[in-house]
Amino acid sequence: MPATSVIGLQWGDEAKGKFVDVLTDQHDVVCRYLGGNNAGHTVVFDGKTFKLSLLPAGVLHPGKTAVIATGVVLDPAALLNEMDRAEQSMGGPVPPEGTELLISDRAHLIFPWHLAEDAALETDRGDAGQQKIGTTLRGIGPCYRDKAGRTHAVRAGDLLRPDRFRRRVAEVCAFKNRLLGAMTASAGKGDFEPFDADEIADRYLGFAERLGPYLTDTTAYLLNAVDSGKSILFEAAQGSMLDIDHGTFPYVTSSNSSGCGVHPGSGVPERHLDTMLGVVKAYSTRVGGGPFVTELEDETGDRIRTRGNEFGTVTGRPRRCGWFDAVAARYAARLSGVDALAVSLLDVLDGFEEVKICEAYELNGQRTTDFPSHADDLAEATPVYRTLPGWSEDTTGCRTYADLPANARTYLETVAEVLGTELKYVGVGPDRAQTIRV
Ligand code: GDP
Ligand code: IMO
Ligand code: MG
């Protein structure tokens, strides 16, 4: 049975959620395997809009199994809030009857001190005169840092051992109070209100009463699922250019958000993957700091932002907008072995007289199609554009590839060709129905 991976090839918000929703029917299991509630995935159908953050988009489909796998960093309060919100929008229980939700007992837990560290480190960077990373302030980086550091990490499975959990929270909390107290004092930022270990342990053990039934060894589940012929759909979060190892470091997130993260995040070996679907917007956006070669800080950028409603799902921040950066997307596609392409938000470019694709960078007087490994070089790079004629027609009603204006098809085919991938899907609106299968 086929396993499919859906990843973003830009800086996140490529419409991964929408394509996961579209592909869920063809799979038995939908698995989210990295990131945390920094992600915001939008799914629109039957006139309803769902904004999902930790729940895999498959949770909205009765009869499927939704897995939150090991590589995810889990804020239990955020997850429970999200489940409550989804219940209101669905008008019924989430997960719906017949849908299974499984959460990895190996997933690392986000605590209030992680949010405090995230804010303190961002402020410190700003105070030091450096550009902020512009994180979502959800404690993602500090939680992954503790996971890699091991000494002060707590995992979801610890919630099922209350005595051990209390002891662990007391130890870690005492250390975090010392750390954050010292950071606050040395920065002259006023008084630090220490965290109360007992209160936090009580609160988290309260969450465990609701989440406990879902906690399990998801790696064993997924490997058994593969062995028994079930098909798995992997739902990435963030985008390849935010990958901790391969992205625009340090302006990245703290996990492998390119296709490189599927195996470590889920435990399922790559040889089981049949399709690596890369999702790109028809243009580029980025939220937060960091170099952005094709950024348009002009009327064209504003026009894309307004037409594409480019404001962050999680933080509401305006997204930075620019022309399609094919150098970055091609690098991302090659890095993850992308063999199928989905281009979303094509409709946003309707009505532009001309549209541009950045097919090379000019760096140190040389033209290159290689993506620079250092952020300083990326900041120096200037875009070399290929300009194509735009289209005046409204594409939002198009339902087949042939319905699309000829210039839009040329644009899509140019993108696919530069990326060296096969165009499989085109998005012409947020609704599930506004999807063209090529
Ligand atoms: P994700 O994080 O990759 O799942 O993407 P987000 O949900 O954060 O951002 C994509 C945004 O674009 C959401 O508001 C979607 O509803 C919307 N969207 C998705 N596909 C299309 C499309 O083809 N056209 C338009 N206009 N909007 C789309
Ligand atoms: P989805 O899954 C867009 C960005 C943040 C910031 C950087 C680090 O919806 O595509 P973090 O909080 O992870 O430490 O922030 O990464 N970022 C995203 N940008 N979409 C996302 O997720 C993102 N998740 C993190 O804005 O620049
Ligand atoms: Mg998003």
- pLDDT at position 1 over 70: no
* pLDDT, tens digit (0-9, with 9 covering 90-100), for 30-56: 999 999 999 999 999 999 999 999 999
- pLDDT at position 22 over 80: yes
Q: What is the pLDDT of residue 378?
A: 97
Rounded distance between C-alpha atoms, residue 28 and residue 266, angstroms: 16
- pLDDT at position 285 over 80: yes
Assess whether 272 carries a catalytic annotation. Answer: no
Catalytic one among 13, 325, 347, 350? 13
Predicted TM-score (pTM) of this structure: 0.97
State if residue 16 touches ligand 1 by the CB under 6 angstroms criterion: yes
424: Cβ contacts below 8 Å, ≥ 6 apart: 277, 340, 341, 342, 437, 438
- pLDDT at position 225 over 80: yes
* pLDDT, tens digit (0-9, with 9 covering 90-100), for 350-404: 999 999 999 999 999 999 999 999 999 999 999 999 999 999 999 999 999 999 9
> Average model confidence (pLDDT) for the chain?
96
Assess whether 114 carries a catalytic annotation. Answer: no
- pLDDT at position 93 over 90: no
Rounded distance between C-alpha atoms, residue 404 and residue 395, angstroms: 6
Could you tell me the distance, in angstroms and rounded to a whole number, from the CA of residue 310 to the centre of ligand 1?
Answer: 9
CB 10 within 8 A of CB 281: yes
Could you tell me the distance, in angstroms and rounded to a whole number, from the CA of residue 89 to the centre of ligand 1?
Answer: 18
Q: What CA–CA distances, in Å, run from 243 to 236, 338, 377?
A: 11, 15, 18
Element of type H or E holding 38: none
**Apex CA 12: angle with CA 111 and CA 367, to 5°?**
130
Lowest mean pLDDT among 268-277, 309-318, 416-425: 309-318
Q: Which amino acid, one-letter code, is at 172?
A: V
* pLDDT, tens digit (0-9, with 9 covering 90-100), for 178-215: 999 998 888 887 888 999 999 999 999 999 999 999 99
State if residue 41 touches ligand 1 by the CB under 6 angstroms criterion: yes
Give the whole-number percent of the chain exceeding pLDDT 70: 100
Lowest mean pLDDT among 130-134, 247-251, 378-382, 396-400: 130-134
Catalytic one among 25, 27, 28, 41? 41
Give the whole-number percent of the chain exceeding pLDDT 90: 89
85: Cβ contacts below 8 Å, ≥ 6 apart: 51
The model's confidence at residue 314, banded by pLDDT at 50, 70 and 90, is confident
Tokens standing for 391? 């289209």
Could you tell me the distance, in angstroms and rounded to a whole number, from the CA of residue 29 to the centre of ligand 1?
Answer: 22
